[in-house]
A = this chain, B = another copy of it.
Amino acid sequence: MTEVTGTEALARVKELVEDIDFTMLTTQDDDGQLVSRPMSTRQMDDSGDIWFFTAEDTKKVDEAEEHRNVGLAYLDAKGHRYVSVAGRAQIVHDEAKMRELYSPDLDIWFEDGLDTPGIVLLRVTPMQCEFWEPKHGRIVSAAAMLKALVTKDTPDDMTSHGKVSR
């Protein structure tokens, strides 16, 4: 497995999370259970923070404020690309940032756009990121995995793996 670390890994995480877009946000509920729901990624900014829109009056916001450690799971099974982000959540009221990140496709969830009552930003500050993806692109990887099946080679040399902690 090729190991990628530091700024190279963080740059790749940014590309992956913005490209995969949809993620499952995991929070801890009052019973300590790890529950998740889909979210659309708006941006991973230059400091590494990942931004989402949400409605303030929701269970996930209550849970994220009670237990600020949250998880983001990105999964592109077809492309064999996976990203784990463990981070700290924060609700942010920032109109300029909201205008920067809003786009009309969000009107599906926020019917009055940025005027929708209770619309806020959710910022996740990553503490640990980890990712897995094929080293040689999708098709070559699929062929290589097939070969591994036949020859019983382990697929370790076909996967890029990166980890970033702070």
Name A's B-contacting residues (CB within 8 A).
20-24, 26, 28-29, 31-38, 69-71, 73-78, 82, 84, 86-87, 104-105, 107-109, 111, 127-128, 130, 132, 145, 148-149, 152, 154-155
User: Bound complex: CA of A130 vs CA of B36, how far in Å?
Assistant: 8
Chain B residue numbers with a CB within 8 Å of A132 are 37-38
**Known A34-B71, A36-B73, A37-B84; further 15 A-B contacts with Cβ < 8 A:** A20-B77, A24-B24, A24-B75, A24-B84, A26-B34, A28-B34, A28-B69, A29-B86, A33-B69, A33-B87, A34-B86, A35-B86, A37-B82, A37-B132, A105-B149
Q: How many copies does the complex hold?
A: 2
Show 13 residue pairs from A and B whose CB-CB distance is below 8 angstroms, ordered by the A residue. A24-B24, A24-B75, A26-B73, A34-B34, A35-B71, A35-B128, A36-B73, A36-B84, A37-B130, A37-B132, A38-B75, A75-B75, A111-B154
User: Smallest CB-CB separation from A106: which chain B residue?
Assistant: B149
A-side interface mostly: strand
User: Bound complex: CA of A130 vs CA of B24, how far in Å?
Assistant: 12
Give the distance to chain B from A146, nearest Cβ to Cβ, in Å. Answer: 10
User: Smallest CB-CB separation from A113: which chain B residue?
Assistant: B152
Instruction: Flag if B82 contacts A33 (CB, 8 Å).
Output: no
Knowing A24-B75, A75-B24, A154-B111, the reply to whether A86 touches B33 (Cβ < 8 A) is: yes
